[in-house]
Amino acid sequence: MRIKTLPDVFINALPVLRKINEAGFEAYFVGGCVRDLLLNRHIHDVDIATSAYPMEVKEIFDRTIDTGIKHGTVTILFENNSYEITTFRTESGYQDFRRPDHVTFVQNLSEDLKRRDFTINALAMDVDGNLIDHFDGLKDLDLKLIKAVGKAENRFHEDALRMMRAVRFMSQLQFKLEDQTQKAIADNHELLSKISVERIRDEFVKMGLGKGSQAAFQVFLDTKLSEQVPCFKGKKDALSIFPKLNFAPTTEANLWALMIILLKIPTNKIARFMRKWKNSNAMERQVAEIVEFFDLVSAQDPTNFDLFNSNLKTIASTIDLAHILGQPINGQALIDRYEALPIKNAQELAIDGSFLLKNGIPAGPRIGEILTDIKKAVTEGKIDNDEAQISQFLLELNN
């Protein structure tokens, strides 16, 4: 099969392939970019595989970066773009289930494609748009199937992260998992414990946010991959709600908040949960805020002061979560009320701490308490946000 019209991201890279060809070597587009081209998905970058050794690639191009010479990868800079060019290779060893002990360069594209994870990721395309499909990747694209190249168990022994990649691709592409591949994941799920939490987390988030997240999450539970990730062990029942939900979360923070709500993690354990998953401090704070506001809104109608203490992003997340969990809240009313607040943060208050000091309040914790009372009175509409009314409020407070 030959692709006649290529998107710009490929066209821009064609001179790179030609240069390698002219130097007497083979060069192909490989992996995810060919898959995404055939699926009409957005392509962020193209990967190139070649029969040239890294040193030979460096001789062909003027500007190069030694990205991973040992593993065969050289980055080249060409007309304002950068490309990763990797020598055809096979890998062997994998004592640790994640990194090959040896990389062996091979002269043959077919050998290179053989060590790739899934048939749909083992496609290549030459400079003329001809597709190279040694493992029926095109058929599986048609069947919407994630299927390991060769014996699935071997692929997962080489890199256990591929088991998470399988459910991630299921979700992102809305594909099914081929039976033998699923069985191999179920049989080998324990190998996932060899993989760093950060790498598992990145795949988990992509799975949770993909269009087919519900079906993928079900397989994530059924194969027991979920037993090998932080804080999910023994929690299949609580997590089984996710595949039954009618909607999926729309942001990473909402995904984590949803997990915390489903797992009924108490407020004082949220930080621990987020850290076990190696999330950033910023993500941890954002998620804690969302869960706290969601709990509040689930229990009662928030006051204007509650809305003031929150922010639009958190309110939007709470509305998303309520929608996902089928909780009836009037989201638009909450947003309207937030938009109508006379002040949205402390800086917008007509006075500050120094005003209170000038008005005879001694320095100390009382300043903060009075400021809170003033913000409450302003946001709840008891007084206007101006100095005169705040001064009057202060007088009444002190009597």
117 part of the interface to ligand CTP, by CB under 6 A: yes
In this chain, which of 17, 26, 27, 32 binds ligand CTP, going by CB under 6 A? 32
CA distances in angstroms from 219 to 45, 79, 97, 167, 190, listed in the order given? 29, 44, 21, 7, 15
- In angstroms, the first-to-last Cα distance of the chain is 87
CA distances in angstroms from 212 to 102, 182, 192, 215, 248, listed in the order given? 36, 16, 22, 6, 9
Q: Are 49 and 73 in contact (CB under 8 A)?
A: no
Q: x/- contact string, 148-177, with ligand CTP (CB under 6 A)?
A: -----------x-xx--x------------
Cβ proximity to ligand CTP, 37 vs 315, nearer residue? 37
Is 35 flagged in the annotation as binding?
yes
Determine the 3-state secondary structure of 68 from DSSP: strand
Is 32 flagged in the annotation as binding?
yes
Cβ proximity to ligand CTP, 225 vs 378, nearer residue? 225
**How many of the other CB atoms lie within 10 Å of CB of 305?**
16
Q: Are 13 and 29 in contact (CB under 8 A)?
A: yes
Cβ proximity to ligand CTP, 116 vs 189, nearer residue? 116
Q: x/- contact string, 356-395, with ligand CTP (CB under 6 A)?
A: ----------------------------------------
Ranges within 36-65 binding ligand CTP (CB under 6 A): 47
Cβ proximity to ligand CTP, 113 vs 321, nearer residue? 113
Min CB(75)–ligand CTP separation in Å: 14
Piece of the chain touching ligand CTP by CB under 6 A; list 116-124, 175-183, 208-216, 388-396: 116-124
Min CB(25)–ligand CTP separation in Å: 20
Say how far residue 397 (Cα) sits from the centre of its chain: 50
Locus of tokens 């998992």: 177
CA distance 181 to 166: 9
Q: Are 112 and 123 in contact (CB under 8 A)?
A: no
| Total site size for ligand CTP, rule CB under 6 A | 11
121 part of the interface to ligand CTP, by CB under 6 A: yes
Is 159 flagged in the annotation as binding?
yes
Pairing of strands 47-50, 81-87: parallel
Dihedral-angle region of residue 251 (phi above 0 means left; psi in -120 to 50 means alpha; beta otherwise): beta
Min CB(224)–ligand CTP separation in Å: 20
31 part of the interface to ligand CTP, by CB under 6 A: yes
The pair phi, psi for residue 119, each rounded to 5°, is -55, -35
DSSP state of 146: E
Handedness of CA 224, 228, 230, 233 (dihedral sign): positive
Is 2 flagged in the annotation as binding?
no
Q: x/- contact string, 237-276, with ligand CTP (CB under 6 A)?
A: ----------------------------------------
By CB neighbour count within 10 A (0-12 exposed, 13-18 middle, 19+ buried), where does 71 fall? middle
Residues within the annotated binding site? 32, 35, 45, 47, 116, 159, 162, 165, 168
Q: Using CB under 6 A as the criterion, which residues of the chain lie in contact with ligand CTP when the complex forms?
A: 31-32, 47, 116-117, 121-122, 159, 161-162, 165
Q: Write out the binding residues for Mg(2+).
A: 45, 47
